Amino acid sequence: MIKSGMSTILSPQRTTAFECRGTRRSFGAAKKGDPPPLRFPTLVTQSLPSFFEPLSQPATPEVLAGEAVGAAVLAGLLLVWQDRPRGSAASDLIEVRESAIHGKGVFARQNICEGAFLGYYPGRLRTPEAMAEKIIAAPNSKGYCWQNGQGYYLDPTDTYGQVSTRPAPGLLWPFEVEVHLAYVNEPPLGVATINLVVEDGVGDGKVQYIAARDISAGEDFNFFMILVTEDDACYNRSTGPKHP
């Protein structure tokens, strides 16, 4: 199932003191504890070394060739950066282990505060066409890919459709990504509460997970997903509990 976020939060009110970890914040408020978005530095001509200053003499073929090679390298690096796998996890707060709900699940390692940032959903960004091709080649991948608000897909699986710290196919990227959040499940049938909220549109195609309430150590994380196509190949944002 292709996952997407949840906009309705149903959670019990606590009446006792709850000691927890993680940055507590109100939903919709400034995300003070969240990582800042990555931006490319702006080059200011006045601050560049003298060898970057415009040539007073006509450029030689060698100089033009060097500039062309440099431009090609920069363009290649930009493509690699755009294609890189996204994803992170607050591994001091959460862990993956066997779940009674389904296969593997994500659990709280310690008490976690409502509003705590838990990480970004992992995967490479793919177009709808590229994701459709991936599902044909590796059908298991449709159980983990996430459609974001821009219509692109985060795919955390390898060429066989299994969750991987090095999602594939894609351009070479030297670093592994944390894939904990690919294992979050829906709650059991008949349970109408969740403990996660998903925030889309946070920039760079990312989707972030936030604790929807105070969560006790050992709890299994869950949220609702809603099917929007009959072939189980696409999920989208839920507006309420999937199971009454």
| 103-159 pLDDT tens trace | 899 999 999 999 999 999 999 999 999 999 999 999 999 889 888 888 899 999 999
Q: Which residues contact 152 (CB under 8 A, 6 or more apart)?
A: 125, 126, 127, 128, 205
CB–CB of 113/142 below 8 Å? Answer: no
Residue 75: Cβ within 10 Å count: 10
CATH number of the domain to which 157 belongs: 2.170.270.10
Q: What percent of the chain has pLDDT over 70?
A: 70
Assess if residue 67 is contained within a domain. Answer: no
Number of domains in the chain: 1
Domain-located, residue 200: yes
Confidence label for 86 from pLDDT (cuts 50, 70 and 90): very high
For 169, the domain range is 80-236
In a domain, 2, yes or no: no
| Residue 129 covered by a domain | yes
Q: Is residue 184 part of a domain?
A: yes
**Would you say residue 132 lies in a domain?**
yes
34 falls within a domain: no
Name the amino acid, one letter, at 42. T
Residue 75 located in a structural domain: no
